[in-house]
Every structure is written in C-alpha cells, then in structure tokens.
Amino acid sequence: MGENLSSEATTSGTVGAALEGASQSVPSIAVSVHTGKEFRLDDANNTIDFSLSKIITNKLAKFILKEGMPKGTDLFNVNVPASSSKHRIRLTRLARRMYTTKVKKRLDPRGRSYFWIDGDPIYQANEGTDVHAVRIENSISITPMQLDLTREKSMKNLMNLERLLD
C-alpha cells in the first residue's frame, strides 16, 4: 500500500524486489495502491480496497505468462488508485518527482543524529507520466522498466571525461 511513482520508485522496497527478480531473469511486477492524501498509516480506521489491484495483477500476469515480457522490458511498475471504480489503464513513463523534498536532521532515542527525508505530494505532472495518470486522471498506471539505467545518449558527449579524470 502506498504508491511507487516517478523516478522516486527506485527507493521503493516493492520496486526493489521486482528489480531483484528481474535481475535473476524472473518476469516481475511491482504493484502498489495509491492511497491518496487523506490516508495515514497510523490510523487504525483506514481500510484499503485491494480488489482492483488484484484484478489488474491477475490480468497482467496472465499476459506475461502467455506473451512473455516485451522486448527490452525487465519489469512492470503498476500503480492502482484505491478509490477508482474505473478500469482505465495508461501506459506511462516515470515522472521526474512525486514529492517536494524536505530534509530534517533529528536525534534518535540514543542521541545519534539522522536525517528524515519527506515532503509534500506533487499533484501536477506532465501527461503520459505515472504521476499524471494516477493522481490527476485516477487511472491505473503501468510503467515498463528496464534494469539498465545507463544514459547511452550521454556516453558520446562524455568521452573526454575519461581523460579529464585520469
């Protein structure tokens, strides 16, 4: 529970588990439910309806078992709005950010400092992104992902970097 949107999906344990599965050549799906602004983990009265996420996961798994993973795709990152009664699905790319970033220095019970990173949700994003699909359209977002994060287009422009750093 809790969405895994944007480039911040790399910090997700759910996406991390799917990445690990994909690194072992296991077709992998990370499925998360967008709980919305009002949801708080510490509220015992909160209930999440996982029925739509079960349906979409089942359909996607059947597709993968029948067709295999699409060429160049190692895993799917799926985000399902909890409050959606619609089954509208959007193939998306990762948005750049899903939260504004705030870093606070705190002390743990033993007096050691640590940094707490949080922020406010971003509800404005470009069309075609996972954040726009889930938070603005209230649609299911499916983002095909790959393990190789190398920026190939930058390699040519950075050839001098090797000599500069040597």
What pLDDT is stored for residue 61 in this prediction? Answer: 97
For residue 29, give the 3-state DSSP assignment. Answer: strand
- Inform me whether the pLDDT recorded for 47 exceeds 80: no
Read off the pLDDT band of 36 (50, 70, 90): low
CATH architecture of 7-165: 3-Layer(aba) Sandwich (3.40)
What pLDDT was estimated at residue 78? 96
pLDDT at 150: 86
Using DSSP's 3-state secondary structure scheme, residue 102 falls into strand
Confidence of residue 38 (pLDDT cuts 50, 70, 90): low
Q: How far is CA 87 from CA 28, 56, 82, 133, 160, in A?
A: 21, 9, 11, 12, 50
| pLDDT category of residue 43 using cuts at 50, 70 and 90 | low
pTM: 0.81
Of 19-23, 42-46, 145-149, which one has max mean pLDDT?
A: 19-23
What pLDDT is recorded for position 165? 79
Residue pair 34/3 in contact (Cβ under 8 Å)? The answer is yes
Q: Taking the CA atoms of the chain, what radius of gyration do you get in angstroms? A: 18
Q: Which residue, 58, 91, 87, 55, is CA-closest to 73?
A: 91
Produce one character per residue of 87-117: b if its CB has 16 or more CB atoms within 10 Å, e if not: eebbebebbebbeeeeeeeeeeeeeeeeeee
Give the contacts of 157 (CB within 8 A, at least 6 positions apart): none
